[in-house]
């Protein structure tokens, strides 16, 4: 039994008769059960020989996120982990932490961690620094607007970034099962349901979502629709963000800017500040005739287009670097009109859904693991 317990620390059981184990105790139990089988020789050396064909050394990967859900960094982490956990080539487990004490307790409870992925922003993990980070594991930092240098490797959110030593780029965490999620889905509250499904016959609906920050330029969407349509519905999902100071004031300022650009009586503007789950957001975007994102920012790639791509509905963007990972003049609303953009973006969705596939994301992380901590099969 000691042999089995020790083996469980760094291996993952793969057998055509069993599904992957969800934790280490299950792994140990499964291995122990198999050594009791009549098909398994009783001596330890023979056991080890037999297991070589069915047990593979893989990585035990801890994925760390913070706890406040009304945050783009948090939601990015959820989307990424939900992709990584689907591979059977490494074991990923997820923890949310908000303090150094919680962080340290994880390593007391789990002794077999090989790699830690930090969904990192200085604001959401202020307790982490070069003195507090656990140096007994490989630490990978997903860098949200950060240049922290105490990770063993840094992961850049910009897919256009070229890899260099211990600095890697990754694709975008798309919902590749969006159609499955939306099948028979009902919004999480009655008010969200009413907002999403409000329609008028033969009247186009344009939508956008994001926390109410000035650089997102919701008012430019209102201006553009008023210039090009006489009748339309504009819907904005603008929840309150956990980490934005004066968030109520900011949202009111953005709302007022939008109202000032309302010029035509038959164009209707609807804004909700209710928090939408990921499923609600997908449902909302899928219900619109077109989704628009006219950010004016030179920052890291925005996650809003991850959602827009996922539902395969027409969308348009601005020409700022925040969208350089999907940019084309054909879907840029400063280069083409709304109707042309709607037509062009359909094929754009297919192109980037393939480029940012779940398989490509998983393979890139497995490559990073192997690069940082080379392992071979047992």
Q: Decide if 58-173+359-372 and 178-355 have a common fold.
A: yes
pLDDT of amino acid 247? 58
Q: For the chain, which residues make up each domain, given as ranges?
A: 58-173+359-372, 178-355
Candidate ranges 83-97, 295-309, 340-354; pick with highest mean pLDDT: 83-97
What is the tens place of the pLDDT at every residue in 196-231? 999 999 999 999 998 877 788 999 999 999 999 999
The CATH number of the structural domain formed by 178-355 is 3.40.50.2000
The percentage of residues in the chain with a pLDDT greater than 70, rounded to a whole number, is: 81
Q: How far apart are CA 296 and CA 293, in angstroms?
A: 9
DSSP code at position 240: P
Question: Pairing state of beta strands 11-13 and 55-57?
Answer: antiparallel
pLDDT band at 15 (very low <50, low <70, confident <90, very high): very low
> Is 50 exceeded by the pLDDT of residue 373?
yes
pLDDT band at 244 (very low <50, low <70, confident <90, very high): low
> Is 60 exceeded by the pLDDT of residue 344?
yes
> Is 80 exceeded by the pLDDT of residue 145?
yes
> Is 70 exceeded by the pLDDT of residue 332?
yes
Average pLDDT, the chain: 83
Question: What is residue 298's three-state secondary structure?
Answer: coil
pLDDT of amino acid 30? 38
Average the pLDDT over each of 7-16, 216-225, 328-337 and give the range with the smallest value. Answer: 7-16
Sheet of 315-317, strands arranged across: 267-272, 232-237, 205-209, 290-293, 315-317
Q: How far is CA 275 from CA 207, 238, 278, 315, in A?
A: 16, 8, 10, 22
What is the tens place of the pLDDT at every residue in 290-319? 999 999 888 778 899 999 999 999 999 999
> Is 80 exceeded by the pLDDT of residue 243?
no
Is CATH 2.60.40.1930 what the domain over 58-173+359-372 is classified as, yes or no?
no
In the chain, the N- to C-terminal Cα span, in Å, equals 18
pLDDT of amino acid 245? 58
Average the pLDDT over each of 84-98, 105-119, 269-283, 289-303 and give the range with the smallest value. Answer: 289-303
Q: Quickly count: other Cβ atoms within 10 Å of residue 191's Cβ.
A: 11
CA Rg value for the chain: 24
Return the bridge partners of 62, or none: 93, 116
pLDDT of amino acid 11? 36
pLDDT of amino acid 3? 34
Tokens of 146: 């950060």
pLDDT of amino acid 51? 29
What is the tens place of the pLDDT at every residue in 37-83? 333 333 333 233 322 333 345 899 999 999 988 888 899 999 999 99
What is the tens place of the pLDDT at every residue in 167-187? 999 999 999 999 999 998 999
pLDDT of amino acid 71? 84
Q: How far apart are CA 231 and CA 266, in angstroms?
A: 5
Of 235, 237, 226, 222, nearest to 270 by C-alpha is 235
pLDDT of amino acid 90? 94
């Amino acid at each position: 039994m000691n042999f089995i317990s020790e083996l469980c620390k760094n291996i993952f059981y793969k057998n055509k008769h069993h599904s992957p184990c969800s934790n280490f105790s299950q792994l140990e139990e499964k291995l122990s059960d198999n050594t009791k089988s009549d098909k398994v020789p009783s001596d330890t050396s023979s056991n080890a020989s037999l297991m070589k064909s069915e047990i593979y050394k893989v990585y035990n990967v801890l994925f760390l996120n913070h706890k406040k859900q009304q945050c783009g960094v948090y939601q990015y982490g959820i989307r990424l982990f939900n992709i990584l956990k689907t591979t059977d080539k490494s074991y990923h487990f997820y923890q949310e932490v908000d303090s150094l004490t919680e962080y340290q307790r994880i390593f007391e409870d789990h002794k077999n961690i090989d790699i830690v992925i930090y969904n990192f922003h200085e604001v959401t993990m202020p307790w982490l620094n070069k003195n507090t980070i656990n140096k007994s594991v490989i630490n990978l930092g997903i860098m949200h607007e950060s240049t922290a240098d105490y990770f063993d490797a840094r992961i850049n959110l910009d897919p256009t970034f070229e890899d260099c030593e211990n600095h890697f780029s990754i694709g975008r965490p798309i919902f590749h099962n969006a159609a499955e999620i939306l099948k028979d889905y009902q919004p999480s509250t009655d008010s969200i349901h009413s907002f999403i499904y409000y329609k008028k016959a033969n009247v186009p609906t344009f939508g956008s979502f994001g926390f109410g920050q000035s650089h997102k330029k919701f008012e430019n969407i209102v201006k553009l629709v008023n210039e090009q349509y006489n009748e339309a519905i504009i819907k904005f999902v603008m929840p309150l963000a956990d980490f934005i100071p004066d968030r109520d004031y900011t949202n009111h300022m953005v709302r007022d800017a939008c109202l000032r650009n309302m010029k035509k009586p038959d164009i209707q503007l609807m804004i909700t500040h209710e928090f939408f789950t990921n499923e609600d957001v997908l449902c909302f975007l899928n219900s619109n005739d077109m989704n628009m994102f006219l950010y004016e920012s030179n920052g890291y790639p925005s996650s809003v287009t991850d959602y827009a791509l996922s539902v395969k509905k027409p969308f348009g963007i601005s020409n700022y670097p925040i969208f350089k990972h999907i940019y084309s003049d054909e879907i840029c609303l400063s280069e083409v009109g709304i109707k042309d953009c709607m037509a062009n973006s359909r094929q754009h969705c297919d192109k980037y859904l393939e480029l940012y596939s779940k398989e490509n994301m998983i393979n890139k992380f497995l490559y990073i693991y192997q690069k940082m901590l080379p392992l071979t099969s047992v």
